[in-house]
Structure 1
Amino acid sequence: MPTSYLNADLHCHSLISDGTLTPEELAARARANGVELWALTDHDEIAGQQRAAAAAQAQGLAYLTGVEISVTFANETVHIVGLGFDPENAALDAGLAEVRGGRGPRAREMARQLELAGIPGAYEGALRYVGNPALISRTHFARFLVEKKICRDMGEVFRRFLTEGKPGFAPHRWARLQQAVQWVNDAGGIAVIAHPARYRFSANEEYALFSEFKAHGGQGVEVVTGSHTTAEYVTYAAMAQEFGLAASRGSDFHSPQESRTDLGALPLLPGALTPVWELLSERIRQP
């Protein structure tokens, strides 16, 4: 059977970043949902990798190390997923620590903006949802605003408060694209553009992203992911072929209550593409 038919889920988050489940709970959920190859990809953090790998082993799941790195490109926040790297690599760990360092000041500024908008106590409220204070994010603020019934759901929070031009938004410059790709490559992994349809790029800006990513040594793109439509699967399958990139698949699962796509619930990759896991076969930890 072609490996494109593998139920691989290579993008999800635990409470170590902005998910709500532990690595162990995610591994159990992945197994129950028929996932055959799994990766935990917390934002800018690899502290959960040992737990995730051990949990995968206990569940009989094949496992790839993973991380999702925040990058600034063309004044937009872009995410680069790293897969199959050595989690003990010092340069990768140092680079991610540098990226995480900007989250604290940004969170304080977000709270200040929300207080000016008549919402006090947002920083302390967001912290109640944080598993790792170094990774406080917009998602944690959003959960607080839903808890306080200021908004009905996470989507409304982002529309009203946490996007550019709205009270509560604080800009931040993350890693450079070249840095993120190099950190992953130097640690023996493969860099993947995460959910490309989510970025507010013009056609020229998107082409520049793919071109520069490829030039820096990036090798993959998420084609089938939780935020893509069926039409976008087709669009990014074509982009993968045009740029000679391997295809990845991941739900971007964060929480049973919040995520619209569960672990393992995505369509399979189109058979004409090269699955990214074929390039990482020697890095897969078998159960």
Structure 2
Amino acid sequence: MDLFTAPLKLSPEAPIDLHMHTTYSDGRWTADQLIDYLVQEGFALVAVTDHDRVDTINTVRQLAASKGLRVLVGVEMSTTWRNHSAHVLCYGFDPETTLLREVIADVKGRQREQAWEVYETLQRRGYSFPRAAELLAASGGEPRQLRDNAFLLIEHGYAPDWPRALEILREAGQRSIHAELAVTVDAVHRSGGVALIAHPGRKERGFTFYDPTLLDEVRAEVPLDGIEVYHPYHSPETIESYLAYVNKHDLLLSTGSDSHGHVGRMPIKYRAELSRRLLERLGVQVG
């Protein structure tokens, strides 16, 4: 039973949101701002799932608890499977001891090595970054990840915006580095948690659309616990298809806004009843 959520019993109509981000990853509002908004709006239970961050989970949860809001343990892991992108929502593990820390540390190490290699390649190609130490002070004065090099390109006038900066970085050898889906799910399960594919119906560039056929293929190799059925980018038809799929295969389902703090991606009040099985798996009673 989880310290921050036990004992907790929700009514079927209680408003929840199990997928949100803060400035600890790529969100546009701080944890304070997000929690204040959720408290003001009367949410009963939420999960803050910053990308590839487990070190900030209890900080966020303690902040929320001080304001009377319950927050589940959660993280959105960026992974790959057979060269497909696969974002995974993970819940219910102990953030202090989870094996996900090792998975994240390995990925961050490889990303840092590549960021430095790309930085050196840019310099050899004539790009000069005299303000690097100042602009990257929070990172120790040197690039540690893709966004650092992109920031340097933009701030030194080599790129007008993020898309052009990414184009320059790819030309300099930048490639995506993520954890393997199977390794991530195994770490979650060995840490006592569950893993669900996030926004499987998202069709934008850079995302993989997981239709039932592809879900069958990935689940044949990786023991996923479920999928995020309710998401702002899922059409009513897509939601119905996923509902049929989770019912057919006895899977868990989650409900999330994927909010980053701007208009159009604000938190959404989903009924707790929709994610009853997931919540009860995590020790939260519904009804």
Coarse TM-score class (shorter-chain normalised): 0.7 to 0.9
Q: Which amino acid aligns with 1:171?
A: R
Contact 2:19 2:47 in 1 (8 A): yes
Q: Please point out which of 88, 103, 111 is paired with 1:103.
A: 111
Tell whether 2:175 aligns with 1:171: yes
Tell whether 2:257 aligns with 1:248: no
Query: Aligned ranges for residues 126-275 of structure 1 at < 5 Å?
Result: 127=136, 136=145, 141=150, 150-151=160-161, 157-158=162-163, 162=166, 170-198=174-202, 199-201=207-209, 203=211, 204-213=213-222, 216=223, 218-256=224-262, 260-263=264-267, 265=268, 268=271, 271=274, 274-275=276-277
Partner of 1:38: 46
| SS of aligned partner of 1:101 | helix
Q: Please point out which of 54, 67, 78 is paired with 2:75.
A: 67
Question: Deviation of residue 65 (structure 1)?
Answer: 0.7
Partner of 2:3: none
Distance verdict in 2 for CA 1:25–1:205, change over 3 Å: same
| SS of aligned partner of 1:79 | strand
Q: Which amino acid aligns with 2:241?
A: T
Contact 2:115 2:149 in 1 (8 A): no
CA distance in structure 1 between the partners assigned to 2:233 and 2:282 by the alignment: 24
| SS of aligned partner of 1:28 | helix
Deviations 1:66-110, CA, capped at 9 Å, x for gaps: 111121112122111111211121523222211222332444566
Q: Which amino acid aligns with 1:212?
A: E
Q: Give the share of equivalent positions with the same residue, in percent.
A: 27
Partner of 2:281: 279
Distance verdict in 2 for CA 1:127–1:248, change over 3 Å: farther
Question: Deviation of residue 254 (structure 1)?
Answer: 2.1
Q: Which amino acid aligns with 1:197?
A: G
Contact 2:20 2:259 in 1 (8 A): yes
Question: Deviation of residue 116 (structure 1)?
Answer: 10
- Unaligned 5+ segments in structure 2 are 1-8
Question: Deviation of residue 226 (structure 1)?
Answer: 3.3
| SS of aligned partner of 2:179 | coil
Contact 2:99 2:188 in 1 (8 A): no
Contact 1:41 1:66 in 2 (8 A): yes
Q: Which amino acid aligns with 1:280?
A: L
Question: Deviation of residue 274 (structure 1)?
Answer: 4.7
- Aligned Cα RMSD in Å? 4.1
TM-score (ref. length: structure 2): 0.73
Contact 1:162 1:168 in 2 (8 A): no
Partner of 2:19: 11
Contact 1:101 1:134 in 2 (8 A): no
Report the count of equivalent residues.
269
| SS of aligned partner of 2:230 | strand
| SS of aligned partner of 2:182 | helix
Q: Which amino acid aligns with 1:208?
A: E
Deviations 1:200-229, CA, capped at 9 Å, x for gaps: 35754343124433xx2x212111123323
Deviations 1:108-138, CA, capped at 9 Å, x for gaps: 56667889999875x95985898xx998455
Q: Highest Rg: 1 or 2?
A: 2
Q: Which amino acid aligns with 2:235?
A: T
Partner of 1:154: none
TM-score (ref. length: structure 1): 0.73
CA distance in structure 2 between the partners assigned to 1:127 and 1:67 by the alignment: 26
Distance verdict in 2 for CA 1:90–1:65, change over 3 Å: closer
Distance verdict in 2 for CA 1:202–1:90, change over 3 Å: closer
| SS of aligned partner of 2:189 | helix
